[in-house]
């Protein structure tokens, strides 16, 4: 069994729980209140700023030019494509760039990004990938699941969000990261594999907490 399959067995139940969370449940039904989604859009914007840094750290820790180029490609896609797209998408909800930039991370958001940044700064490249992978992988899982049968696809604004994460291009980036995880885990002793698994599970649980914090419009900011 590839190590990524082992991680999938651990992570998928958490991602399925995310799908059952009221935020994504109501989103899938097209009934999620827009103020909750707007809160999410703002929190996701500031989250992505820290998430980009993980790929920069990946470039520093990678040994092969191929991996450096792949991390650079992902970082560039987020910085120069996804962030601009995010800003344009936010405008459709009446959210200005100034509002996005003025957003402070709530407690769940800040705790999540600080966890990933600490693991990525202090740990190995394998640990870095284990920390950042659940975000990419769970979004691909959620996007593809919702795109199969979702009333939200009839929503003039929510449908765009769902289809973004169900695209072939997004899933290619996720597949690259999954394959890299397998490559980095190959030959590692069980003790280290268990540590990678633990990091992966923690990040997956933080994904759930992120949805929960956005649904509750968690107001505590640092």
Active site residue 34: no
Per DSSP, which regions of the chain are E strands?
none
- pLDDT tens per residue across span 171-186: 888 999 999 999 999 9
pTM for the predicted model, two decimal places: 0.94
Mean pLDDT of 107-136: 97
Phi and psi angles of residue 106, each rounded to the nearest 5 degrees, phi first: -75, 180
Structural domains in the chain? Answer: 7-214 (1.20.910.10)
| DSSP state letter for 62 | -
- pLDDT tens per residue across span 70-98: 999 999 988 888 888 889 999 999 999 99
Say which of 82, 197, 207, 218 is annotated catalytic.
Answer: 207
Question: How far is residue 188's CA from residue 169's CA, in Å, rounded to a whole number?
Answer: 30
| DSSP state letter for 154 | G
Active site residue 214: no
Under the banding of pLDDT at 50, 70 and 90, the label for residue 220 is low
Say which of 18, 135, 177, 214 is annotated catalytic.
Answer: 135
**Which tokens go with 48?**
């992505």
- pLDDT tens per residue across span 29-77: 989 999 999 999 999 999 999 999 999 999 999 999 999 999 999 999 8
């Amino acid at each position: 069994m590839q190590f990524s399959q082992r991680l999938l067995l651990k992570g998928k139940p958490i991602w399925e729980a995310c799908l059952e969370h009221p935020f994504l449940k109501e989103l899938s039904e097209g009934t999620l209140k827009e103020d909750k989604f707007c809160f999410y859009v703002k929190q996701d914007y500031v989250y992505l700023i820290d998430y980009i840094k993980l790929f920069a750290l990946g470039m520093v820790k990678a040994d092969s030019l191929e991996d450096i180029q792949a991390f650079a490609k992902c970082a560039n896609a987020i910085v120069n494509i996804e962030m601009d797209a995010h800003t344009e998408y936010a405008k459709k909800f009446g959210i200005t760039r100034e509002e996005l930039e003025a957003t402070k991370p709530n407690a769940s958001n800040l705790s999540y990004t600080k966890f990933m940044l600490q693991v990525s700064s202090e740990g190995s490249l394998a640990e870095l990938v284990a920390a950042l992978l659940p975000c990419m992988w769970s979004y691909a899982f959620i996007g593809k699941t919702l795109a199969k049968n979702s009333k939200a696809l009839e929503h003039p604004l929510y449908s765009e969000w769902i289809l973004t994460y169900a695209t072939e291009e997004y899933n290619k980036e996720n597949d690259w990261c999954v394959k890299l995880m397998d490559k980095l885990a190959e030959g590692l002793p069980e003790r280290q594999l268990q540590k990678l698994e633990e990091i992966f599970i923690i990040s997956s649980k933080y994904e759930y907490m992120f949805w929960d914090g956005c649904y509750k419009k968690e107001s505590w900011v640092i």
